[in-house]
């Protein structure tokens, strides 16, 4: 099973864990998060992230998801990456996380592809309803 570590600003990662647990009916195993605040020193976060990676890796690798490329969380995540063992994807969203969790028994490369497709396919311009709109009363 592929481990998943979310490194994000503030409480975003914890919120994604709660939402995924709600959708899946239980908290998924081998899933953790680190929330980084403006007061945190990235050099002090790195050892914590390394410990979590080791705990999450059951031998098949770890996917690190981060919120915005170039921010402190992704900079920390970037220092953890090892090709084919620890892979990273930025732009984490609930569709991306659910897709990664759904396919995490596949090889790490497939989980990366599924996370990316979940992120892109999860962005949809919603069509208007075919019936009366509650918002406008028309």
pLDDT given at position 135: 66
Of 81, 95, 70, residue with least CA distance to 16: 95
Q: Is the pLDDT of residue 121 over 90?
A: yes
CB 42 within 8 A of CB 107: no
Q: Is residue 97 in some structural domain? A: yes
Q: What is the CATH number of the domain that holds 114?
A: 3.40.50.510
What does the pLDDT look like over 66-94, one tens digit per residue?
999 999 999 999 999 999 999 999 999 99
Q: Is residue 130 in some structural domain? A: no
Q: Is the pLDDT of residue 53 over 90?
A: yes
Tokens coding 133:
């709109």
Of 40, 91, 47, 43, residue with least CA distance to 70: 91
Using pLDDT thresholds of 50, 70 and 90, give the confidence band for residue 63.
very high
Tokens coding 54:
């080791």
Q: Is residue 103 in some structural domain? A: yes
Using pLDDT thresholds of 50, 70 and 90, give the confidence band for residue 8.
very high
Domain that holds residue 42: 3-121
Q: Is residue 30 in some structural domain? A: yes
Tokens coding 33:
């998060």
The percent of residues above 90 in pLDDT, for the chain, comes to 91
Domain count, the chain: 1
Q: Is residue 129 in some structural domain? A: no
CB 138 within 8 A of CB 42: no
Q: Is residue 52 in some structural domain? A: yes
Q: Is residue 74 in some structural domain? A: yes
pTM, rounded to two decimals: 0.92
pLDDT given at position 102: 97
Q: Is residue 134 in some structural domain? A: no
pLDDT given at position 134: 64
Q: Tell me the residue length of the chain.
A: 138
Q: Is the pLDDT of residue 138 over 90?
A: no
């Amino acid at each position: 099973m592929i481990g998943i570590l979310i490194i994000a600003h503030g409480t975003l990662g914890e919120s994604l864990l709660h939402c995924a647990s709600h959708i899946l009916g239980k908290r998924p195993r081998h899933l953790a998060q680190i929330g980084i605040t403006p007061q945190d020193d990235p050099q002090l976060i790195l050892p914590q992230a390394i410990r979590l990676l080791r705990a999450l890796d059951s031998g098949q690798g770890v996917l690190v998801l981060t919120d915005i490329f170039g921010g402190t969380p992704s900079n920390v995540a970037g220092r953890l990456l090892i090709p084919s063992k620890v892979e990273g994807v930025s732009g984490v969203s609930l569709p991306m996380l659910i897709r990664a969790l759904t396919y995490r028994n596949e090889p790490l490369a497939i989980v990366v592809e599924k996370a990316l497709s979940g992120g892109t396919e999860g962005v949809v311009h919603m069509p208007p309803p075919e019936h009366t709109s509650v918002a406008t009363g028309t």
